[in-house]
Amino acid sequence: MAGIGAVLIDIDGVLTVSWKALPGAVEAMERLRAAGIPLALVTNTTSRTRAEIARRLAGEGFPVDADDILTAPAVTAAYLREHHPGARCLLLSAGEVQDDLEGVEIWSGTGARAGRDGPDVVVLGGAGEEFDYPALNAVFGYLRRGARLVAMHRNLYWRTAGGLDLDTGAFLLGLERAAGVEAVVTGKPAAEFFAAALAHLGVPASAALMVGDDIESDVLAAQRCGITGVLVRTGKYLPETHRAARGSPDHVLDSFAELPELPGLIGRLGR
């Protein structure tokens, strides 16, 4: 843990649940800030823009602004601009994230016939009421006609104040199997997502720490990129998922509030 130069932090389930700060999370981040440790909040959240996320977190007391936040929609926009320039993209996502999809043509046609009338790319964001049968069946038809499939993440579920709710990954698996396609995933656990976060902070993987509640998409994915992983037992954490994981986290904490006490950070943060 010597030489930690930056910390990557998931939001949902790590700092907040249903956008309410978890106990001790604000104070822990304040200690990181006071020590001058660069931070990036890396999230698969697709229901809010970077600016709105920053406002919600600041309202809970977190010392962050929009420049500290890297979202799956922002990384998805960069991918689409590079690999599908000028493509008509059908967006199926909860929330309004168009502001983070700069340079992407959002296609809003309905009832399109086969061929040129349909979208070139189907983009899946976070699941919500928008993921009903008519919408998913239409996506299935577009994929069968040749549209590419891009997903902002593969999360199977996420934690809300009311418990665990299904997320995009549960529907994505079915679409891939039914249409015989494989989605390009742009958010966590994609290596490109972590590379973008490291570039944003200007540090190598060996000098970074990733804190998350999803052992596969947050922690083990980061560790495969050479980043030190820290799993917290909040949010979507489940003991059975931990036991069944395809690897072991470098560190496990009860919550983000304990992060300042990790060996290697203590000296920089003080007491």
Can you name the residues that pair with 71 across neighbouring β-strands? 43
CB-side neighbour CA atoms (13 Å) of 5: 12
User: What band does 1 get if pLDDT is binned at 50, 70 and 90?
Assistant: very low
pLDDT confidence of residue 226:
97
User: What band does 223 get if pLDDT is binned at 50, 70 and 90?
Assistant: very high
Q: Are 84 and 121 in contact (CB under 8 A)?
A: yes
User: What band does 100 get if pLDDT is binned at 50, 70 and 90?
Assistant: confident
pLDDT confidence of residue 109:
73
Task: Provide mean pLDDT across the span 174-186.
Answer: 97
**Rounded to two decimals, what is the model's pTM?**
0.78
Q: What is the pLDDT of residues 8-67, one digit of tens each?
A: 999 999 999 999 999 999 999 999 999 999 999 999 888 788 899 999 999 999 999 999
Q: What is the pLDDT of residues 102-143, one digit of tens each?
A: 899 999 875 444 345 789 999 999 899 999 999 999 999 999
Q: Are 155 and 214 in contact (CB under 8 A)?
A: yes
Residue 2 has pLDDT above 70, yes or no: no
Alpha-carbon gap, residue 259 to 129, rounded angstroms? 35
Q: Are 76 and 186 in contact (CB under 8 A)?
A: yes
Q: Give kind and range of the element (H or E) at residue 43.
A: strand 39-43
| Tokens (6 digits) for 4 | 């930690």
Alpha-carbon gap, residue 115 to 91, rounded angstroms? 18
Q: Are 4 and 207 in contact (CB under 8 A)?
A: yes
Q: Are 230 and 219 in contact (CB under 8 A)?
A: yes
pLDDT confidence of residue 213:
96
Alpha-carbon gap, residue 118 to 38, rounded angstroms? 44
Q: Are 34 and 26 in contact (CB under 8 A)?
A: no
Q: What is the DSSP letter of 260?
A: G
Q: Are 253 and 259 in contact (CB under 8 A)?
A: yes
Q: What is the pLDDT of residues 72-87, one digit of tens each?
A: 898 899 899 999 999 9
